[in-house]
A and B are shown apart, each in its own frame.
Chain A
Amino acid sequence: MTGWRNGRLEGVRSIDGGDGSLTSVVGQSVLFAKLQDLLAWGRKNSLWPLNFGLSCCFVEMATSLTSVYDAARFGAEVVRGSPRQADVLVVSGTVFMKVAPVIRQLYEQMLEPRWVISMGSCSNSGGMFDAYSVVQGVDKFLPVDVYMPGCPPPPHAFMECLLLLQNMVGSERRPLSWWFGPQEVQKPIMPSMRDAKREERTRQREYPSIDVLPRTDILSPHFAGQPNGLSKDNS
């Protein structure tokens, strides 16, 4: 059965031709869903971040919007300058005491529904900057939905957290009407990625040598080189 469930499109098979019957045509072009699911699906795939950067992490966040990483694949490339138009506040960098009221105000200017990603160690906990001018974690004055470790987290990490947030947004339940149904926002419990990944991480016993170099062919055939690292000729 085709439909949206928990913000996910389920049961769709991609058939190119079909047998031309009414059932087949309708099955390929019409979907039935609950309004709530449809809205959650729409929200999840158009998370617009606010164009607000604090420090190093913002450069990595900006990098994930450029073509190598391309956050547009997740519908999150529309970076808005105005908080009124943004859905996600990515606190990308060190939160300073002088800038804390500014962040708070930006958050308050954003319209509901809104979410917060805390990007990087500084924003998570102060990180290596346990210093007089630094707030030890943005969660001292803002609710945070996703914490992203790293100093700074590479663009892959940004996209992983974006997907985590998307899953959360997709399964969130918000009231559709003033009249009936629960009036509060039902947020799912965010999974602990440390626990989820623990088994896989502890299984790893062998690490590649530091002399096994990565391929640098990000885009171009010119850069392709040999597969699986360039070290084979020399070692």
Chain B
Amino acid sequence: MNPRSSALREASIGEQTELVAEIASHFSSEEYLTAVQSTKDGIPTIWIEKHRLRETLRFVKSKIPRPFPMLFDLSATDERLRRHHEGLPISAFTVFYHLFSFDRNQSLRIKVPLSGEDLSLPSIVDLWPNADWYERETYDMFGIQFDGHPFLRRLLMPSWWNGHPLRKDHPSRGTEMGQFQLPPEKLVMTQEALQFKPEDWGLSRTHQDPDFDYMFINLGPAHTGTHGVLRLVAQLAGEEIVNIVPDIGFHHRSQEKIAERQTWHTFIPYTDRVDYLQGVLNEMPYCLAVERLADIEVPQRAQVIRVMMSEFYRLASHLVWYGTFAQDIGALSPVFYMFNDRERILAIAEAICGGRMHPNWLRIGGVARDLPIGWDQLVQQFVDWFPNRLDEYERLVMDNPIFKARTVGIGGLSLEDAIAWGATGPMLRACGLPWDLRKTRPYSGYDQFDFDVPVATNGDCYGRGVVHVLEMRQSLRIIRQCLDSMPSGHYKSLNPLATPPMKEHTMHDIETLIHHFVGVSWGPVLPPGEAEVPTESSKGQTSYYLTSDGSQVSYRTRIRTPSFAHIQMVPFIVRGELLSDLLAVLGSVDYVLSDVDR
């Protein structure tokens, strides 16, 4: 049977088929789409040949009614060892493009198969500016060439690296690669690789004016203002920023490769460390995607516990942002107050989850254990305490005339640019679009809660601040609702794939005992398929695109993080501003280096 027609028939919801038909009919050729894949997440997924890529993308970006203006994600999969690809085109490497339409509130995934010697694709940097880093990352990780890319070189790995890490034949473990040594000659070589030569980055040293030279200033990777190991090189004309070159990859922890060797269950602690400030908010998209793959229904109580802890961690993350942002501007005291309140949140998190920064709290199908007795008093104390503190912080920071002078009108961004660069979360809402996935595509029962989506208008540093600050009040509102109406019931699903199964039942029936044994010793085996559930984390949209080929480990895990997109925008935002504004912009953007490099 023609795989395309069978897949078309399977595509579940009418709207998806409509979209696919809309694209197919525009090009009015029967064989235009190589295949239509049905995925667990319900995102319409079409396969096209690479010579049709650019025209298809151009069509869905601007010509289709209710277009897809945002490139949400772009990466690849090494398909060479995949066992289950029934009905899909033959491919050694598949590059996928994840687009998003705000008008339709819908995603679209376009896949391009590559095989043989010619691993190259046309670049789409001219269509979406944020494709730049995504293509470089794909080149770095898979060795896929993007023809027409202005600056195709390694992004995350150092320039002297051999091989492409996410290929299946690249070693995963550091211990497989021999002991690390740093003899003097290697030190010299690696230091030289870090030398900044403007010509290498396409920057000119000389101005048209012969008496004038650009100045280059290196910030990082060890710099107090970059919040971690981020390196930025600024090209300056006097004090004005002409251009900024970010150099990332100093925090590349190879999470995506590790996911290919950890079981579905034992990868959860790793997700905590993708963005180390927001704990449970990292586990949420991962667990939701796994549950989508395994068709697990999460009980209501577990959902509300998840929501409550998510909002606590959102507060904790925002407090760090609040304090460090103020500190970047020069206000030294707020950070001390805010870390005190963060300690209170972490104390609650520790009482409930057992961990401070890395709670490891969500499980496939629910949460690790039920809430401890007396949790409600802890939470009640906090929600009574915190609103006054927020008022005080607003007087201390947001109303401060110096703070305003440094942030109002600085680093402005228009809504069109924000969407074109893939901005999400507070970054996008600061430009005036009330787009919050908790509201627009509710997950984990967020539709049951009463909360608002705060927005700002100018998209400047102050606007981003306002959105963060107002969001904290909304988080508090959600926590209060969790406290008032925590449903009773199970804290974990009774589905056999929920890992580990409810311990109380293991000693009473053989079925649960077997599942418990298999889940703990071997790991749950998920049915083959693909799923991705974007969620609203503290910094923007985080999603885990999981591919299972029917084993106890993931075949490919793609982690889309907001900080990556946001750091990529920084040069665009700060061009023309003064050097001192760079730190205001960095502070307002709210990023974490582990979230950038993964």
Interface, chain A (partner B; CB < 8 A):
51-56, 58-60, 62-63, 66-68, 81, 94, 96-102, 104-106, 126, 128-136, 140-141, 151-152, 154, 210-211, 213-214, 216, 218-220, 222-223, 225, 229-231, 233-235
Contact = CB atoms under 8 A, between A and B. Distances in A.
Given A129-B258, A132-B174, A214 B347 contact: yes
Contacts of A58: 228
Interface string B231-265: 00000000000000000011111100110000000
B344 interface: yes
A66 B351 CA distance: 21
A3 B53 CA distance: 80
Nearest to A210: B372
A229 B251 contact: no
A100 B173 contact: no
19 contacts: A53-B229, A55-B228, A56-B357, A59-B357, A66-B336, A98-B250, A99-B229, A99-B250, A102-B221, A106-B222, A126-B175, A131-B173, A132-B254, A216-B382, A218-B344, A222-B381, A231-B372, A231-B374, A235-B374
A98 B343 contact: no
Given A106-B222, A132-B172, A154-B356, A55 B594 contact: yes
Nearest to A216: B347
Determine which residue in A140, A229, A230 has the highest number of CB atoms from chain B within 10 A of its CB, and name it. A230
A142 to B, nearest CB: 9
A12 B194 CA distance: 54
Nearest to A66: B339
Main SS of the interface on chain A? Answer: loop
A105 to B, nearest CB: 7
A136 to B, nearest CB: 5
Given A213-B375, A231-B373, 15 more contacts: A56-B276, A59-B320, A66-B339, A96-B251, A97-B180, A99-B250, A100-B182, A102-B250, A129-B253, A131-B258, A132-B170, A132-B177, A134-B253, A213-B374, A216-B378
Contacts of B385: 220, 222-223
A213 B372 CA distance: 8
B270 interface: yes
B277 interface: yes
Contact of B276 (A55, A97, A131): A55
Contacts of A231: 372-374
Contact of A96 (B171, B250, B320, B335): B250
A8 B273 CA distance: 40
B594 A126 contact: no
A52 B336 CA distance: 19
Nearest to A140: B180
Interface residues of B, number: 66
Given A98-B252, A102-B222, A68 B343 contact: yes
Nearest to B270: A128
A159 B133 CA distance: 40
B273 A56 contact: yes
A211 B374 contact: yes
A68 B339 contact: yes
Contacts of B156: 133
B257 A132 contact: yes
Contacts of B170: 132
B53 to A, nearest CB: 30
A102 B158 CA distance: 13
Contacts of A223: 344, 381, 385
B224 interface: yes
A133 B254 contact: yes
A109 B597 CA distance: 27
Given A128-B270, A132-B173, A225-B377, A60 B357 contact: yes
Contacts of A220: 385
A140 B251 contact: no
A66 B335 CA distance: 8
